[in-house]
Amino acid sequence: MNFFLTFFLNSAKFENKILIETSMLTEFGKIFAFMLIAIIFVVVTVFMSKLVRPARPTKEKLMIYECGENPEGTPWVKFNIRFYVVALIFLIFDVEVVLLVPWTVVYQQYGLAGYFIGVIFLFFLGLGMAYEWKKGDLEWARPYPQSSKLKNAVKGVETSLPVTSEK
Amino acid sequence: MKSTEELFAILKEKFGDAVLQLNTKLPKEAVIDVTPSQIAEISWFLRDTEELQFDNLILLTGLDDDNGEKVKLEDGTTETKGGTLSVVYHLESMKLKHKLVLRVSTDRDKPEVETVCKVWACADWHEREAFDMFGIKFLNHPDLRRILMPYDWEESYPLRKDYKNPEFYQGMKVPY
Amino acid sequence: MGLLDKEFTDDNIVITKVEDLLNWARLSSLWQMSFGLACCAIEMMATSASHYDFDRFGVIPRPSPRQADIIIISGTVTFKMAIRIKRIYEQMPDPKYIISMGSCSNCGGPYWEHGYHVLKGVDRVIPVDVYVPGCPPRPEALLEGLLTLQNKIRNESLVKKSV
């Protein structure tokens, strides 16, 4: 494929540009080949094992495994919602790390401005981290809700109480 | 620290007829025989009195006294009728360091004993085991059901002397 | 699918070589669902430990029957447990094998006469492939049981047995 591309587009005017473009295209071709092999590897293995193994389903074999007893209740259990918070925090900082990695490689070519772009990025993410640290999201135990201290700001406002039967 | 004779004297003084006798001819320890309907009151007394303080029930076990008459059935096996089943309580005081053994005898055909679960909490499962193995019913027990055998084992109580294995249990052959 | 599961009626050279390959692959990595019930379980743990290694035969302990090839019933089997053993055996995927380890699971063991809650031999509920005698069997005995099972697997075939 490489040979045909270079032959077909080989003109003196576009030589440099096209050579760059074809080598970039063949780089993607390598990635494509890699993905293809990964998919084929999995598909062939699963297919071969399906071919070889016996399949004799019985009613008891297909029951849900519960250490030998009859399964009781539903397997959909409620789990702690803190897992969601932990996953969310992880996702954000993981994406931050992924975006920082190319910066660390090239920032020196751009002098001081390149350095400060990274610093500003980290600063904003640090603000977010400070917020969640203060709110107690980094602890596993559920934090006490931190109510805002605005009660004193509304002094002098009379609130009407609901009418009660006793005095 | 009191000896068994002193404890017997104290119990006899308090409960009179319910405390039957002191049996000192046994090899290891002397055993006090008690009537089954009064065992709960006697247990409360034993636990709560200042000078006795029996705060630990070490063991509660059932016994088959094997003193009934053996009746031969049609298929050649023997069954025991009459006679007694016993429950033995081993008590101890951790503070005052004395021990006591009580024994209660009930009829084999209608074995009923008052429970001591409220006095010592560990008696709960021990009484379930005595029920499972001998069939001794404990009155006012919170949860009297089989503990070692399967819950749906209908074939009587295994540790009685006249116990016979059933032929099949849920499709599995029981005897060897 | 199970296209190769006893579907062939004749026995030619290709089938023989494929049989050898599949049997070799299966016997070299028998993942065990260790069902340690009583004292034999200690000997099974000793076999899995480093002195008499089980792992060098490819035997890895798995906690779930869904991931296991063999189940080693080691220890006294009571009636309550026998019901669960049957369910667990049914939940193992084919091909599966059973090693009955020790006297109690072979024939009831020392409880054969008076045991009121003991199942006299686990082969009253599940079909056993290899019996390992002993009370408890030494680790070498259990290893010999494993090798016997491997020999049995080596001689298995894909060919459908015609009547």
- Complex ipTM: 0.77
* Residues whose CB is less than 8 angstroms from the CB of residue B65 and which lie 6 or more positions away in sequence, other chains included: B83, B84, B85, B86, B105
Question: How far is it, in rounded angstroms, from Cα B59 to Cα B89?
Answer: 6
Instruction: Enumerate the residues of chain B whose CB falls inside 8 A of the CB of residue C117.
Output: 148-149, 158
Nearest to A53 among C2, C83, C90 (CB): C2
Which pLDDT tens digits describe chain B residue by residue (176 residues)? 788 888 888 888 888 877 777 777 777 888 888 888 888 888 998 888 888 888 899 999 999 888 878 888 777 777 778 788 999 999 999 888 888 899 999 988 888 899 999 999 899 999 999 999 999 999 999 989 899 998 888 878 888 888 888 888 888 888 88
- Give, as one character, the DSSP assignment of residue A93: H
Residue of chain C minimizing CA distance to A54 = C2
Model-wide pTM > 0.90: no
Question: How far is it, in rounded angstroms, from Cα A112 to Cα A117?
Answer: 9
Question: How far is it, in rounded angstroms, from Cα A92 to Cα A127?
Answer: 13
- Mind listing the pLDDT tens digit for each residue in C69-121? 999 999 999 999 999 999 999 999 888 999 999 999 999 999 998 888 999 99
Contact C84 A68 (CB under 8 A): yes
Q: Is C66 on the interface with B (CB under 8 A)?
A: no
Question: How far is it, in rounded angstroms, from Cα B1 to Cα B9?
Answer: 14
